[in-house]
Amino acid sequence: MTHASLVCCRWQPGDVAILKVLHLWMISNSIKFTIDGLENLTLQPTHRLELAQLYSIPQWIAPAIHKIILLSLVNTTNTEAAQMGWCKEAWSGFWWKKVAHVILHPTNPLPLAQTLQLIIEAPLPDELDGLEVKERIIEGVIRAVTLYFSSL
Percentages (nearest 5) of helix, strand, coil residues in the chain: 80, 0, 20
> What is the span of the domain harbouring residue 90?
43-151
Q: What is the pTM of this model?
A: 0.50
In a domain, 79, yes or no: yes
In a domain, 24, yes or no: no
In a domain, 107, yes or no: yes
In a domain, 8, yes or no: no
What would the pLDDT profile of 25-72 be if each residue is shown by its tens digit? 878 888 888 888 888 888 888 888 888 888 888 888 878 878 877 776
> How much is the pLDDT for 143?
78
Give how many domains the chain has, as a whole number. Answer: 1
Helix (H, G, I), strand (E, B) or coil at 42: strand
Question: Do residues 83 and 98 lie in contact, with contact meaning Cβ atoms separated by under 8 Å?
Answer: no
Angle between helices 13-24 and 28-39 in degrees, nearest 10: 160
What would the pLDDT profile of 96-142 be if each residue is shown by its tens digit? 888 888 888 889 999 988 888 887 777 655 544 444 656 666 677 77
In a domain, 2, yes or no: no
